[in-house]
Amino acid sequence: MIKLFTQTSCNSSRKARQWLRDHDVQFEEQNVGKKAPTTAELKHILSLTENGLDDIISTRSRAYPEVATQLPDMSFNETLKLLCERTQLLRKPIMVTENKVQIGFNDDEIRKFIPRHIRRLDFMKAMINAAGV
């Protein structure tokens, strides 16, 4: 099951939610403004990223300048605690499963959340259409 971390005011969160609905992909949504992710959830997300904290921290957030100079001196656990307390520092949406993660909305990359057998069927249909059969 996909866990979708969103923010009400985030356009990318709305796009991700709508894309998942349009493609009949089941997901569980958690608005981080109402319920912050746990440190365990953040650790799982980070374990699936390529660049760790750099992938999930929003440097465009209004809150970022306030903490930017402190972050390099914070321990990993202190940083996680800060992100749980100040969720506006997180990039959104965050889509995560047991072994996949996507930070932000990307129309091409989000396709990896469609079950493989459906992607194969779609590919076969496209090949048949391309061949003019």
Report the catalytic residues: 10
56 CB contacts (<8 Å, ≥6 apart)? Answer: 42, 45, 46, 49, 83, 90, 91, 94, 103
The per-residue pLDDT for range 98-111, each reduced to its tens digit, is: 999 999 999 889 98
In this predicted structure, what is the pLDDT of residue 15? 97
What is the spatial distance between Cα 19 and Cα 40, in angstroms, rounded to a whole number? 27
Q: For the chain, how many structural domains are there in total? A: 1
Percent of the chain at pLDDT exceeding 70: 98
* pTM for the structure as a whole: 0.86
Average model confidence (pLDDT) for the chain? 93
Which CATH number fits the domain that encloses residue 27?
Answer: 3.40.30.10
Give first-to-last CA distance, the chain, whole Å: 36
The residue range of the domain holding 109 is 2-131
The per-residue pLDDT for range 55-107, each reduced to its tens digit, is: 999 999 999 999 999 999 999 999 999 999 999 999 999 999 999 999 999 98
* Distances, alpha carbon 77 to alpha carbons 39, 42, 74, 113, in Å: 8, 10, 8, 29
Mean pLDDT of 12-25: 94
